[in-house]
Structure 1
């Protein structure tokens, strides 16, 4: 690891000696844990600190004129419930004293702290290195906090879900906090708080993209965004929803107080609350890991009411996800919620619970986890965060009609995007007993070859199941066959909010009841059922 560094043999030897000392310490601790078969919180905090200690030590040797500071002597924590929270007043005092005569370069191991009462090592939790930087920036009244990470900053959505998500150039502290709290893992949420109170801007930069501007976070809304309704979409994909309900809750003061007090005493964090106006139920969103404990805590708290029948047992729902849309301009734009829920409805996505604060900077809602990708894609497309409106096509039958259609799509793709901001993404092609399926889109230049090498065995029923399993947004099923078996799956597809376009009248010219049902269902689902036979 030291071979590429410009240093003489004696310097390299000194570094390796110090690193080996630290590694020997760690080895001894791990050996002790193994021998007694026990890992205490104190020992765990000690073990996880070594990564930062080793990294800081190496940088201290590599960077000339640098001074290595001991984070344990500067960042002090107090224990509240089961968490170590930093003591702001004492920590600021210690940091300012240490920097009265600052070195040219000061290096501080992130993440590490110590108890103000016992002096024992503690840590600041996940993302603690960012948090350490923010604590120092606030204590020293820095002009700006730069955080270098492995992403270009905050994105309009998770790029793993939205391939054309792009970097948000500027956010307010509030917008960044909302996105962080709902799953955006760019920085650790508490990082924002110390610098927010001092109005110190944060700049997120990518260490692998030095030319990228990243994301700038301050108290000022971006002038570039104009009237953009939302800034970004964030999600938490391991949501459980607990519902406390019962007619005995109506009009009773203090029920919610008891709910949140009981959860807080047991260290359970709640990130979403939704309550009926009638007050007969309150739903709360928690992480999956906390769900069972939360149920036990609440049923113990309300055991008397449950026994008397004035309240039901706590209802727990697994397999959910929480999605949030965030933006300062939401509060000035009427109809955001209407547009959001209409978008979800058109995609056949049911909302299980929702919440919006009075600040109107965030609307969050809970859906089934299976619909997460579809929901985020639909919202991203609907709120014009995407450059193009995308239609995801499944083309069945690639004879004369289907083959010509694919050729047309291939030739006119650029024109459709430039003139109509419409992108046709072919995600499925089926022929006979073979089908080619790709969520990211099929290469139309090579689809014939791919049909021979990568196609799966298929039938109308198998194809229907694959399409439903993909659960993709803005889906259109294009039938270029004259098959009654293919026409027989139209109803199931339309019922799942998939539009059907067919170059035949097999379904339309069958019994009137079938035709009428397809048209009625398409209207109810707000999708298209279009048919035509004049293709010459």
Structure 2
């Protein structure tokens, strides 16, 4: 079970998670499998309290900018928030005392780190990951003691303690799965066999030198599936503040529906194309083992949420299951007659961007070979254009055109594969709303059809496609 930051945002929510979800799930498993500690095995993974990671990122920015007073203000707020929760969480006074001591020690460690960073006026990728880890490291003991307070045996662990070993790519580390599998099993399995619930920090691991690393934003999902793969879990539950994966963003489409089932491939496409509440790499560790994932709402226990599985049976006749949008992106179009028929052109362009750590979200090239269009995050736009100008402009490429405010619209569904006329329906529905399509891309898997429009038309495009494929009636 993984719990998102909103699920543990205050005392009552942490108690709700401990008492009404984890403890009740243990009871259900006991009733089903008998009162055997080895049968009701639950591992808990927890994210930082909502907003804390963002605050710690602001601290890093403030250190770089020499804004010491802002650093002090943000850190003071984080300290007070966690100390307040720790002092009011448990009914058992001895637990309150133990928990407060743990929180105080972590806060001291965080402040010691900050002193060094501020003294040097420097934030390295390694020190940044170390600082960002405190969000999860502060909440894990609190959820652990909330469980103890309601009679559930629990022990809190960092991702490093649990055995998650990664490469040293700070900020976006990848697990070394063979090593991780051995270490996680060695640490977690004995705890489960004795009826102890491990409460593991999401988002963080450590490299082979013992340095703390982070798995990228939203990485707690990834932590949960890494552990699930290592211990051969029968299910992963991602507890968040929505009812599940939806046919569209409910903020855009009021009658968007919760999808009961989707395949791994569809869920991966939805995550990559902007669907929230699922880390894009979270599915990788459990694909081969076929472990299902359920996305559930911590505030709506009646809703069974979305199940992500290898071979779903729901919606057999549905061509499209979801329409998603990626906002805050920009389009770069590079042109040049010297690109035509020149082997390695694309490789050189992508290599320049890769060396500057710029991720390309979407690519399109026409058969004339005279231009390549790429979509990047708006935050990477200046860096991308500068890199291309300095390294390739005037030589390989003759011109760079930029369109600032665009959005990627993606239509996702396994039913699209081999179905004639899907693209015609998509582009007619968008054209009927008076929306111009700037760029198009479709993979050979045919699981998605993606195109770019001006950002101001994004919501209209999503609504048009949701209506066209009657996704408001998908569960009828």
TM-score with structure 2 length normalisation?
0.76
Residue 315 (str. 1) matches residue 401 (str. 2) = yes
Gaps of 5+ in 1: 389-536
Query: For the structure 1 residues 214 and 383, does the alpha-carbon distance in structure 2 shift closer, same or farther, using more than 3 Å as the test?
Result: same
Cα displacement (A) at 1:249: 1.6
Match of 1:11 among 92, 95, 120: 95
RMSD: 2.0
Name which of 244, 247, 251 aligns with 2:341: 251
Please tell me whether the aligned partners of residues 325 and 408 of structure 2 are also in contact (alpha carbons under 8 angstroms). Answer: yes
Q: Distance in 1 between matches of 2:172 and 2:298?
A: 31
1:264 paired to 2:354: yes
CA contact under 8 A between 2:441 and 2:451: conserved in structure 1?
Answer: yes
After superposition, give the CA deviation of every residue in 1:192-235 in whole Å (9 maximum; x if it has no partner).
111113221111111011010111001113x3313111010111
Render the CA deviation track for 1:26-62: whole Å, top value 9, x for unaligned.
Answer: 2333344344433332222122111211111112223
Is the CA contact 1:19–1:54 (under 8 Å) kept in the aligned structure 2? yes
SS of residue matched to 2:399: coil
1:233 alignment partner, SS class: strand
Which residue pairs with 1:121 in the alignment?
A: 212
Residue 155 to residue 266, structure 1, CA distance change in 2 (3 Å): same
Do residues 202 (structure 1) and 293 (structure 2) align? yes
Partner deviation per Cα, 1:313-339 (whole Å, 9 max, x = no partner): 222210111110000000132111001
Q: Is contact 1:258–1:301 with CA below 8 Å preserved after alignment?
A: no
Query: Radius of gyration: which is bigger?
Result: 1
1:32-47 matches, cutoff 5 A: 32-47=116-131
Cross-structure match for 2:62 = none
Give the corresponding residue for 1:336. 422
Partner residue in 2 for 1:87: 176
The structure whose residues are more often helix, as a share, is 2
Report the CA distance between 1:2 and its aligned residue.
5.4
Matched, 1:280 2:380: no
- Shift in Å, 1:5: 4.9
- Residue in 1 aligned with 2:453? 367
1:111 paired with 2:197, answer: no
In structure 2, the CA distance between the partners of 1:254 and 1:80, relative to structure 1 (3 Å rule), is farther
The whole-number CA distance in structure 1 between the counterparts of 2:87 and 2:394 is: 69
Paired with 1:305 and 1:28, the residues of 2 have a C-alpha distance of: 50
3-state DSSP class of the match of 2:350?
helix
Of structures 1 and 2, the one with the larger relative CO (CA 8 A, separation 6+) is 2
| Structure-1 residue corresponding to 2:307 | 216
What aligned pairs does 1:19-418 form with structure 2 within 5 A after superposition? 19-63=103-147, 64-73=152-161, 74-80=163-169, 83-103=172-192, 104=195, 105-116=197-208, 118-221=209-312, 223-303=313-393, 305-306=395-396, 311-387=397-473
Give the distance between the partners of 2:345 and 2:289, measured in 1 at CA: 37
Secondary structure in structure 1 of the residue aligned to 2:167: strand
SS at match of 1:84: coil
d(CA) in 1 for partners of 2:214 and 2:139? 16
Note if contact 2:158-2:205 (Cα within 8 Å) is conserved in structure 1: no
Q: Take 1:82 and 1:134, find their aligned partners in 2: how far apart are those partners? A: 19
**Is the alpha carbon distance of 1:138 and 1:36 closer, same or farther for their aligned partners in structure 2, counting shifts above 3 Å?**
same
Deviation, structure 1 residue 238 = 1.1
Please say if residues 130 and 213 of structure 2, whose CA atoms lie closer than 8 Å, have aligned partners that are also in contact: yes
SS at match of 2:104: helix
3-state DSSP of counterpart to 2:444: coil
In structure 2, what is the Cα distance between the partners aligned to 1:205 and 1:82? 27
| Matches of 2:310 and 2:392, distance apart in 1 | 43
CA drift at 1:4? 6.5
Taking structure 1 as the reference length, the TM-score comes to 0.68
Contact map agreement 1:81 1:267 (CA 8 A) in 2: no
What are the Cα deviations for residues 296-349 of structure 1, in whole angstroms up to 9, with x where unaligned? 22334424525xxxx322222101111100000001321110011111111100
Q: Distance in 2 between matches of 1:60 and 1:347?
A: 52
Q: Quick one: structure 1 residues 268 and 2, their matched pair in 2 at CA, closer, same or farther if it must change by over 3 Å? A: closer
Alignment map for 1:476-515 (pairs within 5 Å): none
Distance 2:381 2:431 in 1: 28
Deviation digits for residues 363-420 of structure 1 (CA, Å, limit 9, x no counterpart):
00000001111111111111111359xxxxxxxxxxxxxxxxxxxxxxxxxxxxxxxx
Question: Take 2:257 and 2:217, find their aligned partners in 1: how far apart are those partners?
Answer: 26
Contact 2:171 2:215 in 1 (8 A): no
Cα distance, 1:3 vs structure 2: 7.1
